[in-house]
Amino acid sequence: MGDADRSRLGVGMVGYSFMGAAHSHAWRTAPRFFGLPWDLEMRVVAGRSADGVRAAADRLGWQDATTDWRTLLDRDDVGLVDVCTPGDTHAEIAIAALEAGKHVLCEKPLANSVAEAERMVAAAERAAERGVLAMVGFTYRRVPAVQLARQLVADGRLGQIRHVRAQYLQDWLSDPATPLNWRLDKEKAGSGALGDIGAHIVDLTQFITGEQLTGISGTLETFVTERPVATEFSGLSGTAGTETGPVTVDDAAVFFGRMTGGALATYEATRFAAGRKNAIRIEVNGSGGSIAFDFEDMNVLHFHDASEPAATAGFRRIVVTEPEHRYVGAWWPPGHGLGYEHAFTHQVVDLVEDLAAGRQPRPSFADGLAVQRVLDAVERSSQQGGGWIALT
C-alpha cells in the first residue's frame, strides 16, 4: 500500500459471475451495517468480455471496468485484489497481485493443485514480510451458526471430539440432461464435487474443531460421464444444446479420516442428492456434547450439552440471531434471519479489520493449502482403490 492514505481501501475484483456478484454485494454492504476501520472504494472490475465486464460494473457498482486484470496491479488506487475467477487462474493472479503489493482475497479452492497452492503460500509468506496480506474465501466460516459452533468447541463445551460427520449435498447434476459448465471441466475446476463443495466441509470441520486431518481414505465417482454442451449459462443453470461433451471431474466424493485429537471423521460431497439443494451438514460429537448444523436452515445451530441431567437433556435448537452471536448485532432483531450473502459481508468485515490491524487474516493461504492437501489425498486414495493416505 506504500504511503497511501490507509483510511481508504480501493478494491479491484477479477471475475464477475456468481462469486463476483456475491463479493460485490459484500463490498457494497459491509460499511452500511458495520463500523469499519477503513473506507472501501469499489474501483474496478476485470473480466474477459468487454461488454460483459462493462455491464457487470454498472450492475454491481464498480467505478471502472477492464478486460486486462493486470492493469489492476498498476493502479495506486487499488489496494486489494479480489480473485473471483475459476481455480485454474488463481495462482497466476494472486501471486502477481501479492508481488505488486496488493492485498489479496482469493476464492476457494485456493488452487487446482497442491503445487500451485504451495507456490501461492510461498508468495503470501514473502508478501507478508512487507505487510501485504492474503486470505482465501472459505466464506461459510462467517455464518453466525458456524461461528457459534466453533466457539462452543473452543470453550470446551464438547469435550474431547470423537466424531465429525460432514456432508455437502446438492442435486443440480442429478438430471443427466443438465448441461456441461466450467465446473465439470478438470482444466478449469481442478476437480468436481470434491474441490467445489468438498473443500468447504474439509475447511469447516477443521475450523470448527480446531483440529487437522491426519490421514484419509476415500473414493470418487462420476455417475454421468457425458452431458450436453450448454449454449448459454447463468449461475449454476444453463440451456442445453444438441452437442455433448465429456465430464472430466468427479460427481461425488466420499472419504473418512482421523483428526489430530483422535476423532473419526466422515465426508461426503455430491451434486446427485436429489432434493438436497445446498445441504451443508456438519455434526460433531464429543465427550461433553454435540453440535449439528445444516445450511438449509442456516440460522440455526443444534447443541446438545451432555452435562445436563438425562431427563431434560436434548439438542437445543439455537436460533443464532441474538446480539450475543457474532456479526448478528449489526443486523436485525432476534429471529429476523440472515441469508447466504451475509457471510460474504462478514468476510469483508473480518478481512478489513485484520488488514487495518496488520494481522494475518484467516483462513490464510496456508489454511487453503491444508485443504488442498486433503483434496489431493482423496484423489490419490481413490486412484489406488480406497487405501489410507497419511497427511503430514
Restricting to residues 172-211, name those near its own copies by CB under 8 A.
172, 174-176
* 8 A C-beta contact, residue 260 and residue 212: yes
CB of 307 to its own copies, least distance (A): 10
CB of 214 to its own copies, least distance (A): 12
Q: What is the secondary structure of 116-146 as a DSSP string? A: HHHHHHHHHHHHHHTT--EEEE-GGGGSHHH
Restricting to residues 312-351, name those near its own copies by CB under 8 A.
312-319, 321-325, 331-342
288 binds its own copies (CB under 8 A): yes
149 binds its own copies (CB under 8 A): no
Alpha carbons 263 and 230: distance in angstroms, whole number: 43
Restricting to residues 31-90, name those near its own copies by CB under 8 A.
31-33, 59-61
| Residue whose CB is less far from its own copies, 128 or 240 | 240
| Residue whose CB is less far from its own copies, 115 or 332 | 332
254 binds its own copies (CB under 8 A): yes
Alpha carbons 94 and 13: distance in angstroms, whole number: 11
Among candidates 388, 390, 368, which has minimal Cα distance to 218?
388
| Residue whose CB is less far from its own copies, 28 or 186 | 28
CB of 38 to its own copies, least distance (A): 15
CB of 72 to its own copies, least distance (A): 22
Torsion of CA 342, 348, 127, 79, to 10 degrees: 140
State the DSSP H helix or E strand holding residue 37, giving kind and residue range, or none if neither. Answer: none
221 binds its own copies (CB under 8 A): yes
Alpha carbons 192 and 189: distance in angstroms, whole number: 7
CB of 167 to its own copies, least distance (A): 7
**Of the candidates 163, 186, 188, 362, which one interacts with its own copies according to CB under 8 A?**
163
297 binds its own copies (CB under 8 A): yes
213 binds its own copies (CB under 8 A): no
Beta bridge partners of 237: 234
List of residues 6+ apart from 226 with CB closer than 8 A? 244, 245, 246, 247
Alpha carbons 140 and 344: distance in angstroms, whole number: 8
| The three grid cell numbers given for residue 386, joined into one nine-digit string | 480406497
Q: Give the count of residues interacting with its own copies (CB under 8 A).
A: 102
CB of 211 to its own copies, least distance (A): 15
Restricting to residues 3-22, name those near its own copies by CB under 8 A.
18, 21-22
**Of the candidates 85, 112, 167, 206, which one interacts with its own copies according to CB under 8 A?**
167
In degrees and rounded to multiples of 5, residue 11 shows phi and psi of -115, 135
Alpha carbons 284 and 292: distance in angstroms, whole number: 7
CB of 272 to its own copies, least distance (A): 5
**Of the candidates 131, 156, 210, 235, which one interacts with its own copies according to CB under 8 A?**
235
| Residue whose CB is less far from its own copies, 236 or 357 | 236
Which listed range, 88-96, 114-122, 123-131, 259-267, lies at the site for its own copies (CB under 8 A)?
A: 259-267
Among candidates 280, 301, 281, which has minimal Cα distance to 145?
301
| Residue whose CB is less far from its own copies, 28 or 54 | 28
303 binds its own copies (CB under 8 A): yes
**Of the candidates 156, 210, 246, 262, which one interacts with its own copies according to CB under 8 A?**
262
**What separation in angstroms does the CA of 242 have from each of 181, 210, 229, 237, 291?**
15, 48, 7, 16, 47
| Residue whose CB is less far from its own copies, 2 or 309 | 309
Among candidates 19, 172, 213, which has minimal Cα distance to 105?
19
